[in-house]
Amino acid sequence: MSTLLSTNSRIESDHDSFDVQENTNCCACCAGFILLTTRREKRQIRELMASARDCAMCALIYNGIDEVINHQLHTIAEKEGTMIGLRDMLQTFVLIEGYERPDSTNPKDDEGRTGINANLVVDHNLWEHFPDLSLDSIWVFFVVVSMRDKRRHRAYWSSPIPIDFQSRLTTVLDWISECNTQHGATCVHGEDIKIPAAARLMEISSQKDKITIRLVSTTDVGFVSAPYVVLSHCWGNIDPKCKTTNANVTNYLDGISLQTLPPTFSDAIMITHALGVRYLWIDSLCIIQDNREDWKKEAVKMSDIFRDAYLTISATGSSDCHGGCGIETAIEPSTVLHIRGKKEKFWVRIGKLDGIKYEFEDSALHDRAWIFQEKLLSRRIVHFCQRQLVWQCRACIESEDGLGYAHHTDTPVEMGTFSGRSRWHCLDSHLSTAENDTDSLRMIWLWWIWVSDFTDRKLTHTTDNYPALSGVVRLFEGLTKDKPVVGLWKKDLDIHLVWNVRRPYTLPAALSKSHGPSWNWMSYQHGSALITGPFLPIEKNFSFMYRAQVEVINLAWEGKEWASYPIECSLRITGKFIRIHLPMTLYEDGLHRKINNIGPGRWDTCFLDPEMADAEAATTEFHAVAMYAYKGYEMDFPQDKTSSLIEHLVVKRTDESKPAYIRIGVLHRQWSGGPEVESILAEYEDRTITLV
């Protein structure tokens, strides 16, 4: 409804909003936008109102602008006790533009999809009278699909009535069928890692339309062959009252009342039942929450629990267990449009062509560390976002409206950056590696992309950082056949050791490593540091000129691996050593300390770990051990291919009387067009040390 706001804040109207269901015809102007014969036109609000009586598209544009400004006009009216509304903007112009859909690799794509943008620029006279009006421009976006679009049959577009979940279920079943029959080896299980599966599942059954649920032991249901669904959700700041404990586990084996479950859990049960699947896994119900031993035992099974699931239901649009999956709310139907002289019809919805991607990436679910491995380990996921569904598997990711789509060949591992990767991509678990160096390097990049993403997420209990990554470690182990060394990998341990650490701006002072060895990035308390990978070549035509020898001489855990802390961890490094004489130029950039020594065609940059004290860093001489060297491009200092690069660990003795060293930073050295790596390393000293 267009709004006039009176002094008593009562919403009045001099014109009702236009009912677009009463008239489905389009004016010549809007027909031009839809058919892309007209690209741009200015129209006054007055003209738009007049045309909206006979044109459904004009009515949609008018109603859309009205809805956007309604709340703010209401706020100003309450504050200033004045009456304003769209009648104050009748002379204001709206710029309307039509544009084609972007190029897509979606095999279901066809011609017949356009976008329409309407932009109203607020009149300056209105600004003079109402300075508190923060709007200077209003954008409303629409998407139009035609009968040629292959996804028009989905209920999201074709249903003439409000769309309930039962109508949308067909789309989910189609996604599953397509994944089973058309994705081939991309979505087939890799080699299973032999770990016992979940100890418990929830069994869902129905009699006379009444759904009953109970907790069952997997040894009683033939767990290996029984398909099951898993729920991925945010706990938020709310501890669900309905959770399995030592006190109620026996009662839950007899039955659980559906009415006692929070909305997200009950929705997941209804979805699982609608899919025809009998079993569901929910963490808070299938793990005994006040039994630490049971929690540790089940937490390290996440790799199998999620990878073996028939499907993952993700409550992506909910910030806690009370948000639900949105299946109780019907979606308004799209608007049907007819163009005079055309037999085909069109369907229109408000929204950008790629709007769902922003909602998907900004969801609270993608901010949680535990969710990272749940998503990564899943074979396929249906995301229940606030506005629509999103399918994600190893082969593709697609939105319910079909406008958002990416194939796994569109979202490769990009070598050159560890952070800022879009979360709109296929599941990485389909990736594999070959024996050649470039593929091995690609997998190193992939690991550190994962680590960067993981450390950038929130973890309620910082002590959970090892179990929260355990499933990811087992996944990577299966992909590469490599062996984990806490948060690093044995095959290329010399490279992995030269990781980088940054302190977030939000922390006024550096935090010391809370536990574990100095060389392990996981020793930092989760959330206290941002971790990125080592400096690596980004082009294929490179060669390692030197690599240090690293041997694991001691590695022991406090308890079960990845369910506890490493307590004894030491490495033996044999390589080339050089002394670093400080001070050089020492400065603080808010993230990490850098010490630069720039000469003709040469860069020496030292990144000290954040726990280093300024006074110590500025007055002490340290040792650096060269870990690897190569020729070629480098991510921060792109030069010609004659550049020689050497990456080091910066270390210091733990005690002058002992040969043990700890890591305190990394050193990057680069020469452009200068001496060969061999001649540089000839000035170094051969030495073997123990790193703890």
What tens digit of pLDDT does each residue of 502-529 get? 876 555 554 555 667 999 999 888 878 8
Please report the pLDDT score of residue 155 as a whole number: 94
Neighbours of 640 (CB within 10 A): 9
What pLDDT band is residue 163 in, cutting at 50, 70 and 90? Answer: very high
Please report the pLDDT score of residue 327 as a whole number: 92
Mean pLDDT, the chain, integer: 80
> Which pLDDT tens digit goes with each residue over 363-375?
888 888 889 989 9
**Of 175 and 595, more confident:** 175
- What percent of the chain is modeled with pLDDT above 70? 76
Residue-range domain boundaries for the chain: 4-150, 184-331+352-412, 448-470+480-691
pLDDT at 173 over 50: yes
pLDDT at 547 over 80: yes
Contact 545, 631 (CB under 8 A): yes
pLDDT at 100 over 80: no
Please report the pLDDT score of residue 620 as a whole number: 65
Written as six digits, the tokens of 291 are 């039994």
What pLDDT band is residue 72 in, cutting at 50, 70 and 90? Answer: low
> Which pLDDT tens digit goes with each residue over 268-323?
999 999 999 999 999 999 999 999 889 888 888 888 899 889 999 999 999 888 89
What pLDDT band is residue 159 in, cutting at 50, 70 and 90? Answer: very high
- CA distances (Å), 514 to each of 358, 427, 465, 663, in order? 36, 32, 12, 14
Please report the pLDDT score of residue 442 as a whole number: 82
**Of 263 and 14, more confident:** 263
* Contact residues for 349 (Cβ-Cβ < 8 A; gap 6+): 142, 143, 157, 334, 335, 401
Written as six digits, the tokens of 93 are 């112009």
pLDDT at 102 over 60: no
- Please give the Cα distance from 232 to 216 (Å, whole number): 20
Written as six digits, the tokens of 124 are 């300056």
pTM of the model: 0.84
Please report the pLDDT score of residue 10 as a whole number: 29
Burial of 270 (0-12, 13-18, 19+ CB in 10 A): middle
Find the mean pLDDT for residues 635-658.
Answer: 73
Strand partners, 281: 230
Find the mean pLDDT for residues 214-237.
Answer: 83
Q: How many helices (H) and strands (E) does the chain have?
A: 18, 31
- Please give the Cα distance from 150 to 654 (Å, whole number): 66
- Please give the Cα distance from 299 to 468 (Å, whole number): 8
Find the mean pLDDT for residues 65-82.
Answer: 65
Find the mean pLDDT for residues 248-259.
Answer: 94
pLDDT at 236 over 90: no
pLDDT at 212 over 90: yes
- CA distances (Å), 558 to each of 9, 14, 293, 383, 586, in order? 65, 73, 14, 37, 39
Instruction: Give the 3-state secondary structure of residue 347.
Output: strand
pLDDT at 104 over 70: no
pLDDT at 464 over 70: yes
Please report the pLDDT score of residue 13 as a whole number: 38
Please report the pLDDT score of residue 312 as a whole number: 96
**Of 126 and 405, more confident:** 405
Please report the pLDDT score of residue 576 as a whole number: 96
- Helix 165-182 with 263-274: angle, nearest 10 deg: 60
What pLDDT band is residue 189 in, cutting at 50, 70 and 90? Answer: low
Neighbours of 656 (CB within 10 A): 5
Place of tokens 């004659």: 642
Among 352, 357, 348, 275, CA closest to 316: 357
Find the mean pLDDT for residues 224-232.
Answer: 86
- Please give the Cα distance from 157 to 178 (Å, whole number): 20
Find the mean pLDDT for residues 401-424.
Answer: 71
Find the mean pLDDT for residues 249-274.
Answer: 95
**Of 254 and 139, more confident:** 254
153-167, 228-242, 545-559: range with lowest mean pLDDT: 228-242
Please report the pLDDT score of residue 670 as a whole number: 85
pLDDT at 632 over 80: no
Strand partners, 205: 212
Among 684, 669, 537, CA closest to 603: 669
Give the amino acid at 87. Answer: R
What pLDDT band is residue 346 in, cutting at 50, 70 and 90? Answer: very high
pLDDT at 5 over 60: no
What pLDDT band is residue 24 in, cutting at 50, 70 and 90? Answer: confident
- CA distances (Å), 207 to each of 201, 204, 215, 258, 539, in order? 20, 11, 18, 14, 62
- Please give the Cα distance from 171 to 183 (Å, whole number): 17
- Please give the Cα distance from 522 to 508 (Å, whole number): 21
pLDDT at 382 over 90: yes
Please report the pLDDT score of residue 534 as a whole number: 92
pLDDT at 470 over 70: yes
- Please give the Cα distance from 315 to 326 (Å, whole number): 9
What pLDDT band is residue 554 in, cutting at 50, 70 and 90? Answer: confident
2-11, 422-431, 660-669: range with lowest mean pLDDT: 2-11
Contact 529, 609 (CB under 8 A): no
What pLDDT band is residue 21 in, cutting at 50, 70 and 90? Answer: low
Among 465, 440, 642, CA closest to 547: 440
Written as six digits, the tokens of 194 are 């032999």
